[in-house]
Amino acid sequence: MIAGLIHFYLWRRLVRDTTTSPRWRRAGAVTIGGALAILVATLSLGDRLPAGLRWLTLPGFVWLALMFYLLIMLWLLEVPVLVARRIRAKRAVPVPAGDAPGQKPDVDHDPDRRLLLRRGAAITAGAVAVSVTGFGMTRAYRPPSIKRYDIPMARLARRADGLRVAVLADLHVGPLLGTGQVERMVEIVNGLDADVVAVVGDVVTSEPGRVRDSLLPLTGMRGRHGVFYVTGNHEYYVGAENWTEAAAELDLRVLRNERVEIAHGGGAIDLAGVNDITGAQYADPPDYAKTLAGRDPGRPVVLMAHQPVAVHDAAPYGVDLQLSGHTHGGQMFPFDYLVGLQQPVVSGFGEVDGTPVYVTNGAGFWGPPVRVGADPDITLLTLRSTA
């Protein structure tokens, strides 16, 4: 319903208001209607396509991004178009004899002027939308950037100072992100020579069996003390049990409401992982008490939780650092503002309820292969003792 209304608005502004030709209006209606049909088919049937045909979802997802930016630009241009029409309407011009003295023509009765304004708005919106979407596609498919930070940690023993944690999230392996991109991500992670690799959910968009070949490079990912993984919301959408079994086959140590001791340099940390909060809808919720209670109070704990909002439940257990993903940094500006209404941290560092939280932008993308204002990244965190 909403998609239909949006496409009707696009047809009015891009077609009906920019031409008087019935033929062009019909052609425009067919084009916009076809775009709507492709979008609906992509969102409802895309993942059911055979592996060799999933690339056919690309036009639908690209149109989704283009539609979004067209909509924003046309909404923004409504104001200057209205102002221009009002200014035109207020200009005093001579009127034919018999009309009221000083009468001004209503700009709505100037079809040529109105057509010119709407064509200008449509051309401007189209140029901006195409440019931004094209730019965003180049950013989405670029190699993830590497971010490096030192993290002060009061309870970290001096002997464990310098422990390095690589943070990877939101690969979203599926129809539009496959083997080549996964191989590139693994190569980047291995190049960091991390002690621990933390994969913070949303590895897949499709069912594991459908993207098995694309996932195989993950078996080559290395961390000195292991590669650890927690579920994201998308794993539940495609079947969490199937996915966690697949993760184990890929040499990812799955932390399902549990913690492990990571010994390093004569010191240690607790690395904990909770199920994503979406698991509550599938009888597999996060259990913070089971995961975090009863620890050695002298040892710091690093919590892997897919969604940043989990910090509200984790903070009372004295978490020293939470690692999250999920937000994609907003992925497509200005979505970061909307994401911020749900999540306490959208990208980078934040402190929530006294607990430090780090949120990666993620290495892949979901839906449109477009990133605007939130480039993909992989992060290396070096834990520093302040004891």
pLDDT band at 204 (very low <50, low <70, confident <90, very high): confident
Q: What is the pLDDT of residues 82-132, one digit of tens each?
A: 877 777 666 645 555 555 555 554 445 567 778 888 889 999 999 999 999
pLDDT score of 107: 46
Region 32-55: what's the mean pLDDT?
78
**pLDDT average, residue stretch 202-206:** 86
Torsion, Cα 154 159 160 163, to 10 degrees, reads: 120
pLDDT of 71 strictly over 80 = yes
* The pLDDT of residue 271 is above 60: yes
What integer pLDDT is reported at residue 47 of this predicted model?
Answer: 63
Per-residue model confidence as pLDDT tens digits over 137-194: 999 999 999 999 999 999 999 999 999 999 999 999 887 888 899 999 999 999 999 9
Residue with tokens 């292969």: 369
pLDDT at 354 over 50: yes
CA–CA dist 326, 263 (Å, integer): 28
Residue type, 207: E
How far separated are the first and last CA of the chain, in Å rounded?
58
Per-residue CA distances from 366 to 82, 90, 203, 336 (Å): 36, 49, 11, 14
pLDDT in tens, 219-267: 999 999 999 999 999 999 888 888 888 888 899 999 999 999 999 888 8
Kindly give, in sequence order, each residue whose CB lies less than 8 Å from that of residue 144, ignoring residues fewer than 6 positions away.
185, 188, 363, 375, 376, 377, 378
pLDDT at 191: 96
Q: Are 182 and 143 in contact (CB under 8 A)?
A: no
Question: pLDDT tens across 134-146, in order?
Answer: 999 999 999 999 9
pLDDT of amino acid 55: 66
Cα–Cα distance, 289 to 279 (Å, whole number): 16
Can you tell me the distance from the alpha carbon of 139 to that of 162, in angstroms, rounded to the nearest whole number? 32
How far from chain centre, in Å, is Cα 239?
21
Over the stretch 295-351, which tens digit does the pLDDT of each residue have?
888 899 999 999 999 999 999 999 999 999 999 999 999 999 999 999 999 999 999
Average pLDDT, the chain: 89
Residues contacting residue 329 through CB under 8 Å, at least 6 positions apart: 336, 346, 347, 359, 361, 362, 373, 374, 375
**Nearest-angstrom CA–CA distance, 36 and 41:** 9
Cα distance between residue 89 and residue 176, in whole Å? 50
Confidence (pLDDT) at 92: 45
pLDDT at 177: 83
Across 40-54, 74-88, 368-382, least confident range = 40-54
Tallying the residues shown for the chain, one arrives at 387
pLDDT band at 207 (very low <50, low <70, confident <90, very high): confident
Strands (E), the chain: 145-153, 164-168, 196-199, 227-229, 253-254, 258-264, 267-273, 301-304, 321-324, 348-352, 355-359, 377-385
Q: Which H or E run contains 149? A: strand 145-153
Strands 145-153 and 164-168: what pairing? unpaired
258 close to 273: Cβ distance less than 8 angstroms: yes
Q: What are the pLDDT digits (tens) for 6-39?
A: 999 999 999 999 998 999 999 999 999 999 999 9
| 227 vs 245: CA distance, rounded Å | 15
Q: State whether residue 324 is helix, strand or coil.
A: strand
The string of DSSP codes covering 331-348 is SBTTHHHHHTTT-S-SSE
pLDDT for res 102: 52
| Residue 178: count of CB within 10 angstroms of its CB | 17
Provide, rounded to the nearest whole percent, the portion of the chain with pLDDT above 70.
91
| Domains of the chain and CATH, by start | 2-139 (no CATH), 145-385 (3.60.21.10)
Residue 109 has a pLDDT of 57
Give residue 89's pLDDT. Answer: 63
